[in-house]
Structure 1
Amino acid sequence: MNKILNTIFDDTKINQIEYFDGQSDLSSQNVSNATANLLEKVVSHPCGRQQGVCILMERGSHYIAVMMAAWAAGFYVAPLNTAWPLQKTLDIISRIKPAAIITDNKNSEELDTRFKIINSVELFNQSDSVNEFAAKARPLRPADIAYIIFTSGSTGEPKGVVISAASFRSYIDWTRRYFSEYSASKRLLLTSELTFDITMGDIAFALAFGTSIGVARHNTNIPSVLAMIMKYKIDVLYSVPTTHLALTAFAKQKRGADLSSINLLLSGGDRFPWQLVNDYKTLTGDAHFYNVYGPTEVTINCFSVRLDNKEQLALADKPVPIGKCFDSLDFVLLNDENQPCSEGELCVSGPQLMMGYHGDSELTKSAFTNDPSLSFIDRPLYKTGDLAYVDDGLVYLKGRIDGLVKIRGYRVHPDEVSKIIDGINGVDVSAVVAFGDQSEASLIAFVRLNKCSELIEKDIDSHVQNLVPHYMVPTRYVFVTDFPLNQSGKIDKKALVRSLSA
């Protein structure tokens, strides 16, 4: 008989987790102190309704510990980034109307004084009332909100994705089942932005297995990231492909670089070439490598596949798959008529779907459709906006629906061309964009080569011409040493297009 879980932390290993960042080490006792101090400083809602806190702090172990403390006290969290423009931060705070803004000395100025501001240092002071307030703590329950993550919106205004404690708990439980063979993992390193849901994936892993959480304070400084991996013998690393590619490229060139402590690698958020899997095999001594996929709206991830044992796919020149749907979820591919098909928009159902977009019921409504295969009930499906197909039991992505362009009258997805270029030996990563007015639009390929590669434009163009129709062949190849990245760590294609007009 399944055990009934009353809070988000029931049957987790939260009390085993330690937090470190190279400067500060924290324990579960520090989190308990922060929980008690937070409850002491924030007045409960008069009607007993759940309240939220905004976190605006520098990267580090304290940030994650504050998040845990807020959940233990029953608050939902809205993580903010100190690198964001001030006005964006103020706008989000104004929309959330938090019970408190938790910040540090560097970020307390110019904040909206209508809301209570708590210096994070005060939360970690030893509390004389820790036992009294710990008894009052009521960790998140299934119907509560766990977090609100703000992502880029098509209108230019950030979308606040609201995730329930039940959805987050469902992801934690999937993590425990799916990654059970890695339950002895001691330390993971958090390299993503703390406002990105990969962070929540790392936290879920830690809660499932009691794995300690390291935070790379300088997450874009690859030598610093490598130093932390080696110093703390990190055994779990989950990051975006751009970070993985930069780390492997640096480690291959750095004398004394050692990634052998890593036994589990996860990559999510964007596509990558098979070469990345091979590089990690060499550098780690056969660590297991997983590709994970999922929109923020479906609570971190909803598909996964282990890749280091799928050499046959690479040899068959197949792209990297996103794998199989979680055992707790379901998916449907829908065509333009909203009917099931073999290749179409990937739509997902199940307990991990978001509650909605903060303060935007119309946008929330437009994000869902009903499952046409169940005519007798309205089962909501989240529309991911990704085109997908199934091949031999695995799901593959073709690209974004909103990324489709017309080239000489043909519908083309630039990502299809990128995947072909990425498969060329000597290419590190590429990005293909459409440039020009609709009637004269053409494809431009931006390519970053491996350090020792001697490829020239003619080599790449010849390979592409052999594999795609003439209208999908780029008219120009631009070689770059680095790609501009957006706040999620993905290649910023809009910036690439702007560079063509400069």
Structure 2
Amino acid sequence: MSATSCLHELFIASARQDPQAVAVVEPGQGSISYGELDALSDRLRDRLAMLGVGRGDRVGIYLPKSIDSVATLLGALKAGAAYVPVDPGAPVARGAYILHNCRVKVVVVAASLADKLGSALGELGATPASIAVDVSLAAGSGLRSALDAADRQTAAVAADKAGNEPDDLAYILYTSGSTGKPKGVMLSHENALSFVDWCSESFSPTAADRFSSHAPFHFDLSILDIHVCLKHGATLILIGEDIGKDAPRLAQLIADERISIWYSAPSILALLAQFGGLARHDYGALRQVLFAGEVFAVKHLRTLSTLWPRPRYFNLYGPTETNVCTWYEVPLPVPAERNTPYPIGKVCSHLRARVLDDGGAAVGRGSEGELCIAGPAVMRGYWELPEQTARGFFIDADGTAWYRTGDIVNEADDACYTYLGRRDRMVKRRGYRVELGEIEAGLYRHAKVKEAAVLAFADEQAGVSITAFLSSDEVKRPSLIEIKRFCAENLPLYMIPDKFSWFDSLPKTSTDKIDYQRLKEIG
């Protein structure tokens, strides 16, 4: 465990060791040094403290990925609060629900979205203080300008150290909920530090490294990107949504920015392998390729490792509730005859793993069961959902709480785990964990939808394809354009179904419930 007790102290130590080193780069826009980032996040800490933020509070981040948002999460941590990153590209009602649900005291919001968010929060009866940031001003200038304007009204004084303890919350990440509402996964400073320390031990980063920041900040992959990088005084390269899925531009950026440690969902790497034109660029700086969030199709991994033969490749596995809990280094080259995915590997050194049957009994190696994880990285629970938290754990005879991942695995003789599938209706899509019930809940909000059932199907190219089965009482059903537009306004992009099938009425079981098995057969 780190000598520090709080996540942000890792960054502060790096800033003091080399304040002139480049901390964060916004490609094409500018950069900020460790010293400048430390000072900017201190200023935000002081403003947050003046607004009443203290130890144990929550600060919402409703900003696109930027130096501003990195400074904001550090400022929130320095103020003693947990940061709550929200996707500004998702429907505003979803973001407002999240910020209201965890009762943020302050939200730092993009100025262009402030009015819409304020209205949505007001409809929920929430009135947190806000700091509006002009995100068109790059390299931290937006937040700096917002703080300058606030200081002209009333100058903020330097705040005292918050005095956090390891068990205090560091951040809350919201994931899909089976009720149709997102649920907040509570992670403490201890949870985060145990993971960051494990990454340091396993990947040996240095101040010379340049980390990719491909994942959005509300996605748990961002914890490695940001905090492991800043712990080691390395440089974080921010990759915005505009370029993140544009394979040729992304390929160029990785080469131009000399990224040495890459981390993303496999779908992005598959896109790069197929359409990035990787052979045209020099990737001599790239030394590690990490991927997590979904199964990496072997044919795309083979192509990528042929085009990028120098780096080491690591398959990382773990839900938001544990962050990475197993890992596997892919042996290269990938054999031409291999067509099955690689294992998710061995349990990380800071955690313990067990494979249990439905009754909670351990199964032997080679037998299928649910992977359960215990250790310092396991979440504190779901925000204000004690029953769901209790269901998420198996408590053994000695009182150890084992998080039930919901993933079915088997363990080989070498202690490597192979992922076999999900226990419930939760799927991984584009690296995000998606609860099919949340998509159904969103579809039911359409006035012309009478019934909705959503199923996931295996797809060789995309990994998973989602189909929505719908019925309507209306003679004229919504057109494909209309239903897709509705989904775009009510669901995050990664939850929008790939296919819509309309029926007069969905098939039912003998107990008058929607017959999902029949729909699965219909496809």
Same fold (TM over 0.5): yes
Question: Is contact 1:292-1:304 (8 Å) kept?
Answer: yes
Report how far residue 25 of structure 1 moved.
1.3
The question of 1:327 aligning with 2:333 is answered no
Report how far residue 203 of structure 1 moved.
1.5
| Aligned equivalent of 2:483 | none
Q: How does 1:369-408 map to 2 (within 5 A)?
A: 369-371=394-396, 375=397, 377-391=398-412, 392-402=414-424
Report how far residue 172 of structure 1 moved.
0.9
Question: Is contact 1:14-1:206 (8 Å) kept?
Answer: no
Change (3 A) 1:118 1:78: same
Report how far residue 115 of structure 1 moved.
1.2
| Aligned equivalent of 1:191 | 214
Partner Cα distance (1:63, 1:74) in 2 = 17
Report how far residue 398 of structure 1 moved.
0.4
Report how far residue 328 of structure 1 moved.
1.1
Which residue, 221, 228, 250 being the options, matches 1:205?
228
| Aligned equivalent of 1:420 | none
CA shift digits 1:151-192 (9 cap, x unpaired): 111111001111011100111111111112x43542112112
Partner Cα distance (2:262, 2:342) in 1 = 19
Which residue, 315, 331, 336 being the options, matches 2:358?
336
Partner Cα distance (1:47, 1:65) in 2 = 16
| Aligned equivalent of 1:365 | 390
Report how far residue 33 of structure 1 moved.
3.0
Question: Is contact 1:172-1:207 (8 Å) kept?
Answer: no
| Aligned equivalent of 2:133 | 120
Partner Cα distance (1:311, 1:228) in 2 = 26
Partner Cα distance (2:233, 2:309) in 1 = 25
Report how far residue 497 of structure 1 moved.
7.2
| Aligned equivalent of 1:476 | none
Q: How does 1:376-455 map to 2 (within 5 A)?
A: 377-391=398-412, 392-402=414-424, 446-448=459-461
The question of 1:245 aligning with 2:244 is answered no
Q: How does 1:287-298 map to 2 (within 5 A)?
A: 287-298=311-322
**Higher relative contact order, structure no. (Cα contacts within 8 Å, ≥ 6 residues apart):** 2
3-state DSSP of counterpart to 2:98: helix
The question of 1:85 aligning with 2:91 is answered yes
Partner Cα distance (1:105, 1:8) in 2 = 28
The question of 1:227 aligning with 2:252 is answered yes
Partner Cα distance (1:52, 1:324) in 2 = 35
Change (3 A) 1:8 1:153: same
Equivalent AA in structure 2 for residue 8 of structure 1: L
Partner Cα distance (1:14, 1:258) in 2 = 30
Number of aligned residues:
423
| Aligned equivalent of 1:145 | 169
Change (3 A) 1:214 1:75: same
| Aligned equivalent of 1:411 | none
Which residue, 279, 288, 301 being the options, matches 2:324?
301
Report how far residue 274 of structure 1 moved.
2.7
Report how far residue 245 of structure 1 moved.
0.4
Equivalent AA in structure 2 for residue 20 of structure 1: V
Equivalent AA in structure 2 for residue 207 of structure 1: L
Partner Cα distance (1:157, 1:106) in 2 = 26
| Aligned equivalent of 1:456 | none
3-state DSSP of counterpart to 1:320: coil
RMSD over equivalenced CA pairs, Å:
3.5
Partner Cα distance (1:73, 1:337) in 2 = 44
3-state DSSP of counterpart to 1:266: strand
Partner Cα distance (1:209, 1:194) in 2 = 19
Report how far residue 309 of structure 1 moved.
4.2
| Aligned equivalent of 2:44 | 38
Question: Is contact 2:288-2:313 (8 Å) kept?
Answer: yes
Question: Comparing 93-102 with 38-47, which one deviates more in the overlay?
Answer: 38-47
Which residue, 267, 274, 293 being the options, matches 1:269?
293
Report how far residue 336 of structure 1 moved.
1.6
| Aligned equivalent of 2:465 | none
Question: Is contact 1:185-1:236 (8 Å) kept?
Answer: no
3-state DSSP of counterpart to 2:418: strand
Question: Comparing 23-32 with 362-371, which one deviates more in the overlay?
Answer: 23-32
Partner Cα distance (2:168, 2:298) in 1 = 40
Equivalent AA in structure 2 for residue 173 of structure 1: D
Question: Is contact 2:8-2:74 (8 Å) kept?
Answer: no
Change (3 A) 1:132 1:282: same
Report how far residue 65 of structure 1 moved.
2.5
Report how far residue 489 of structure 1 moved.
8.9
Report how far residue 39 of structure 1 moved.
3.1
**TM score, norm. by length of structure 2:** 0.72
Q: Percent identity?
A: 24
Partner Cα distance (2:177, 2:287) in 1 = 36
3-state DSSP of counterpart to 1:154: coil
Change (3 A) 1:244 1:498: farther
Report how far residue 139 of structure 1 moved.
7.0
The question of 1:59 aligning with 2:65 is answered yes
Report how far residue 498 of structure 1 moved.
5.1
3-state DSSP of counterpart to 1:87: helix
Which residue, 96, 103, 117 being the options, matches 2:102?
96
Partner Cα distance (1:20, 1:266) in 2 = 20
Change (3 A) 1:46 1:204: closer
| Aligned equivalent of 1:474 | none
Change (3 A) 1:283 1:61: farther
Partner Cα distance (2:279, 2:311) in 1 = 20
Unaligned residue ranges in structure 2 (runs of 5+): 16-20, 135-141, 429-435, 437-454, 463-486, 503-518
Unaligned residue ranges in structure 1 (runs of 5+): 405-413, 416-432, 434-441, 450-483
Partner Cα distance (2:164, 2:247) in 1 = 36
**TM score, norm. by length of structure 1:** 0.75
